[in-house]
Structure 1
Amino acid sequence: MPFRRIGLLAIALAVTSTTAFQGTSPLFVFSTSRLAETGLEGSQLGLASNVQTKLSNSLEICPSDSYVIVSQPGVSASDFTAKTSAPNLRRWVHGAEEKVKSAWTVPEVYGQLDADKLARSLANKCGVQVVDVDASAGFVPVDKSGKRVLKVEFPELPLNSERASKLVSHDSFLNAVLQPLSGHTVTVIYTTTPPASEHDPFTQHAAQIYEMDDPYPSSVHMDFKRDVSARADNSTLNSNLPLFEKYQFLSPAIFMGLMVTFILAMIMYVGLTALGSLEVSYFAFSKEMGPAGQKKQ
């Protein structure tokens, strides 16, 4: 029971980490020959430049007769989670085929592998011919001589409901390409590129959050928002309209400022008028020098 719980926890962590990185895509490698260890076995995340260097070093000894380099743009690790997404590729990578001697996967590769550079490197080191296979044309080369590098170019997966069916179709085409090579040792390198941002589940979730209606009424009064639609078209400024129709000389702010200034001026006027209306005789501030004043002293 404890081992079962540990296994379930490992699967949950693997699924979580599969969807944790954006801008990454998986890499699948399997071969009917014994490949040299690259250090990428069991890796979850890797840089494209580092992965390509280690992969090239592993293929320096030319372990197989034929090589198939697949380019599948616009996919992520989540596209291969379903058992029906790529059944043949799943069977080869998981070791269900007895002929497969080496198989490993890097679910999250950040960057893009250079399939052309890898094919040229194999052609120079192993002395084989590079053959381009256009999967969109549906032509499967039937040459059983071996000793060559097949570059299979798949079109990018659509973003609609046909995405899963297209991936299954590409998987069937790859299986048809490998059938004539069953009598030779073959190494398959399945490279991918990340999907477009429209298919990114994180981007879609964020878009749904911002596009949804506000469940609570906003407290911002939009009626106070300044209307700039009348100024969007500058053609009226260059027309022959009169001066007072072309420009606005009395805005609401200026009008309110003038009103406040007028009120303050009226208050100042009343205050000054009240001070000026005071009537006090000059003798009110003089000292009494008569007999009455002496008696008070």
Structure 2
Amino acid sequence: MDNNLAFLSDYLSASLRLSIPLAFAALGGLFSERSGVLNIALEGMLLTGAFVSAAVTFATGNVWAGTVAAIAAGSLVGLLHAFLSVTLRVDQLVSGLAINLSAAGLTAFGARLVFNLETTQKLAGIPAIAIPGLSQIPLLGPLLFNQDLLAYSLLLLIPLITYLLFHTSLGLTLRAVGEYPRAADTAGIQVAWVRYVSVALSGILAALGGAYLVLVHVKFFTEGMSAGKGFIALAALIFGRWHPVYTALACLLFGATEALQLRVQAFNLAIPYQLLTMLPYATALLALIGLAGKSTPPAALGIPYVKESTDE
């Protein structure tokens, strides 16, 4: 029984670790898309955060310097996406794809400049902080109360974002801009400003997911290590119907699926590993085709807003 409990505890811990980068990116995407800006650039934002946090941590030996640098880089990528989408009114799908491709190329080039190509550079990691007493609770203690600061921050962010979005005037403003920007503009809301701030927040949160991936989960950087996590986060956002709690639960589902395929591979069952590797992506695909029912996006999602005065 103890072995079963230990296996379950290990599986749940792995599921949580694998879902945290997804949740950071998905919550970032929630801000952007609730404001009406389609954000498939989550993959590039996450990868940028991973590389910058790794490079700065490698150079300074300070994980918090790396984390702050990731936040700054993520905000800049978010502002770039906002500039292209909101100011220049570039097709938001094209803008996101361009950022993803640019991030993949630039981080690969940067990794060759910064890191020793002969060996994997082990990075300093963000340590776990055990909460006295609570961390000793069987099963739930190590899972919830023996985590790092980024994980604790995420657990606090989920209810905070939910409250902000649905119970404050700021949240009402954000949702109004994403649903009916013309009415929001008429009410005196600066639609472009709200979208800029929202997409910048999106970049910050996605970059924190990348920082977690590097500084907590694996403690090294490799080219393309985001491996589609930004797209899975986008699927989780759709699966969660643009709601913070449901989106976080969808990320946990995808994390649990990935943890499951890793453990099934370890048992050396007569199942092709390629089939197991595709499990998280198959789950995301099922989410996108409406496994949990039809998801209705914000009405103005992906539609550039043009003031009436510029139409005349």
TM-score, normalised with respect to structure 2: 0.22
Between structures 1 and 2, the one with greater helix share: 2
Q: Which one has the largest radius of gyration?
A: 1
TM-score, normalised with respect to structure 1: 0.23
Between structures 1 and 2, the one with greater strand share: 1
